[in-house]
Structure 1
Amino acid sequence: MRNIFRHLEGDKAIWAVTALLALFSFLPVYSASSNLVYVVGNGTTMGHLFKHALLLLLGFGIIYGIHRIPTHFFKGLSLIALPVTILLLIYTLAQGNTIEGANASRWIQLPLVGFTFQTSNLAAVVLMIYVARYLTKIREQEIKFTQSLLPLWLPVFIVIMLILPANFSTAAILFAMVLVLCFLGGYPMKYLMGIIGAGVVFLTLFVLLAKAAPGLFPNRVDTWISRVENFWDGGDTEGDYQIEKAKIAIASGGLLGNGAGKSVMKNFLPQSSSDFIYAIIIEEYGMVGGLSLMFFYMLLLFRIVVVANANPTIFGKLLVVGVGLPIVFQALINMAVAVELFPVTGQTLPLISSGGTSIWMTCLAIGIVLSASRKPLVESDGERIDEENPLEILSGQL
């Protein structure tokens, strides 16, 4: 056991929080999976628990493998990964609307293994790395909007436009995180305000086009438009049904909860093991359990800020913030949806909810943060090795 921990480098607190969240997830996932078994008629509770354990095991394998990669390598890797993810997003939208009868506008089927893969999650991580790389490259230059339009904002808007029709919440979160990263990276505020304005105009035109021609975007556009509209105006929709059941679960949990596995609303809440698992956690473990879980996410945020501040390179700082902040932001949105502070978004609770792609991409991001938290390599004379990316040197500073 000591030999295993010896190979785990980087911030120990992040390792500990990640492991604790993963271990705790077994209890609510096992409990909430009874909805899939006895209501939906899908598999067995032990089968869902075993699948969740396998996904987490693979996820921690991703963390270990990624955290061993030197941070500066991600600069060059983002140049390779971004066009690949764009092609995957195009393929995801073009493949059709169903996989085995289910809406598949956000997923692709992985051959042989039988898993589905949500390409937008991978695109979000890759795009944040790419933006961090670009901001690092221009940090000592006078930034002009026209010069950054093609290398920075064109890829950003292409990725967001490909995600938007099927997954508005992910597109909105990604756009917000890119703006935050650009602000922290020193990108002029006047240009960011222009980008925000352009984004609002584009979204308005997109919604008007979707309403004028409903068959033009046959994926999930109507779903997320109706969710936002009904959040503000009210109405009898599936989203309202889920919110009402989630609030009942939270209210019945009280201060200390009903006990592990004793949730009642898990049998009535359709997404009890994924999107609304936080409501089930409060029902079973009370406000104490819900606030404790929030504390661990805040601790993760604190350690992410510490790692970013301690990293000796500009790229490392921006990289940690770019891939680490969305994890906590997604967790807070998931919790906010359960208490009706946000419309239903479909965002899972990182490392807690069941689901493969979300777990793997969260682990990928955590692995990158841990890579940035490792002590830099040193030469024999005690000076740190140059952080310049060899892939960028070979590519002629693309």
Structure 2
Amino acid sequence: MVITPFARRDAVTREEGRQPLTLGVEEEFLLIDPDSGANLPVADDVVDALPPAMRSQSRRELRRSMVEMVTPVCTDLTTLRTHLLRHRRAVGDAASAAGARLVAIGATPVAEPHRAVPPQERYRAMVERYGPVASDPAVCGCHVHVGVPDPDLAVEVCNRLRVWLPVVQALTANSPLHDGRDTGQASWRSVQLQRWPGVGPTPHFDSRRDYDRTVAALISAQLMLDEAMVYWYARPSTTYPTVEVRVSDVCTDVDDTVLVAALVRALVATAVTEAYAGVPVPRVRDCVVAAAHWHAAHSGLDSTLTDLRNGAARPAWDLVGDLFTTVEPALREHGDLDFVRAQLSRVRRVGNGAIRQRRTLHRTGDLRAVLQEVAERTVAG
């Protein structure tokens, strides 16, 4: 079923479409004990050890074993990659000085014995409201921001992303381990986050007014503390004039992060082009979208994914190919086509993060070997 867009636009007025859409990436990292692999609550020490300019690009999280780094606004992938790698190496050095190891991995792989929250009032309110859920072990994501300053257009873009985000989720699945074992899930982070009321596929909205009214109702019902607790997989950012895509696990390899950023920007650019052209928005039931995401989190790239355009189960890499074909014009327009083609070929050859972790675990039988490899790849260029 399709519906007409709520805000049709004349393509000839889209002057901003001739400029590259801006990009920014937020990456969350874990700090673990080099020997046991358990999480270490040393984030304050790590952030304080960063150079002042780098410290301003860091964010403290609910868990003291996490550090988030935020890139400046970028327009090209080379600059984005430079910032990402600079962040990872600086935080990795600071972590080593604090007796910890920095790992880009989607979920706590062993244990988190220390779960006291920082003293900020908002974090205390979250613990009071959500109880044990707020004390779950840390999980780490990769959030991609793409510049879409028009509020109504941002909501329509999120509507159009719904059918493709399970594919992005599968490509970036990077958390098969938890409690010292293989969970059977490619993205345990995705499964764990379902305990929060504001996490999941973005609902379809008819307008920005509809979006704002729904968020206000969720806050009024005390399901969320505030607008910032809308953790849907795509949302108009509460901080920047962007669409923020939050579906991905943090990627171990920096080139995987750049790949997902390029694909997300191309998806957003494609959605903007379709909105201006008046292309109908695919309408899929929320329960079907949620099921597709569960399947993507479970299987990653190992078997099938759900094609939300027709509801069929298809080989994962067939859907990745369809995604690439769909966004190919936008990739070409932004100068990203060759990079994305090469990186998708690499991922198909070596696997996503979950596949690589399992391969090492099965080869060595040693979880410490997996975490050492992840740590080395986290800062490798």
**TM-score bracket for this pair, using the shorter chain length:** under 0.3
Higher RCO (CA < 8 A, seq sep 6+): 1
